[in-house]
Amino acid sequence: MRILVTGAAGFLGTRLARTLLAGGPISLAGAPAQAITALRLTDLFAPPADLAADPRVQAVTGDLGTLLAEGRLRLDDVDAVVHLASAVSADCEADLDLGLRSNLAGSLALLQAARQGGIASGRPPVFVFASSVAVFGAAPGHALPALIEDEHLPTPQGSYGIQKFMVEQLVADFSRRGLVQGRTVRLMTVAVRPGRPNGAASSFVSGMLREPLAGQRCTVPVAPETAVALASPGRTVAGLLAALSTPAATWGPPTAVNLPALTTTVGEMARTLAALAGPEAAARLDWVPDARITAIVGGWPARIAATRAAGLGLQPDASVAELLRAYAADHPEALAQPLRA
């Protein structure tokens, strides 16, 4: 079995790749389980050394659209695609052309390549697309419903969410036509992300936990009462794996599945940080409002009814404390001191 992962040098792509390589045979869309013989990883940057050293890994480095246009990234022999590559929210809002090129044009080119690959091989590949909770937003003069259901019509209010929703519809149409076996999952804000801050409007959500735990300061650009929908990296990868493996009859229609979310507030995150790492950790948070970030993040829903995901056996994280302890267990080297018992 051959699987392609785009955005594979990012923390989520890296975690997914490691999970796939360590997990043994996998069932694609309910088919008999097969071992992974090739894992093709593509991104602007090379994958970490441990992945590159695995003989099953084929690294293809460069811009996704350019790689496809020049024929340097092949899809005629892949059985599945997990499409994680994306320009992030605040960057898309600041640069429309970046988002259109990376998120819309790049995704369409990938779908077309998957389509042609399926025609060549005689088997439409499973195509998993990572969308976002940012497809939801309150249209001017309207309020978001108290609870977002799977069937709630997205009305994104930012370029990033609009581009994600456009690709959701492309995946659904390619699936309807039998060109790919499309599976779209809407990711929540993933926390705690390791590494450094990125250009996502929600980057502070991980930073306000990660940086104080490392003994560093972090600016929080929203008010403490701001509600957010969170998911740990482990729960997020579980959702991607479910999208790869679930039989079509169980998965249901090609419309997107909301992954489960832990609903909390930024203030509760700060309080949990203080409880588990001490008040000195929470004192490293600098509360400096940013109207631009507040408008973006505040327009996303925080209460999600992930009914279809629950039917697939997927569950949300139980608490912010669980998120923090999972991060500490995965990245003990990133902590200035251990968490309290």
Q: Which two tokens stand for residue 125?
A: 């590949």
Helix (H) or strand (E) holding 65: helix 64-69
Q: Which of 129, 136, 160, 174 is catalytic?
A: 160
- Dihedrals φ, ψ of 87, to 5°? -75, 145
The span from the CA of 233 to the CA of 243, in Å, is 15
Residue given tokens 């994104």 in the structure block: 156
Task: Indicate the Cα dihedral angle 4, 108, 73, 254, nearest 10°.
Answer: 20
Check if the beta carbon of residue 160 is closer than 8 Å to that of residue 89: yes
β-pairing, 262-265 vs 227-231, is antiparallel
Clarify whether 160 is annotated catalytic: yes
Q: Say whether 230 sits in a helix, a strand or coil.
A: strand
DSSP string, 231-263: E-HHHHHHHHHHHHHS-HHHH-SSS-EEPP-EE
Neighbours of 288 (CB within 10 A): 9
Strand partners, 271: none
DSSP string, 113-166: HHHHHHHHHTSPPEEEEEEEGGG--PPTT----SSB-TTPPP---SHHHHHHHH
8-state DSSP, 284: T
- Which residues form the catalytic set? 160
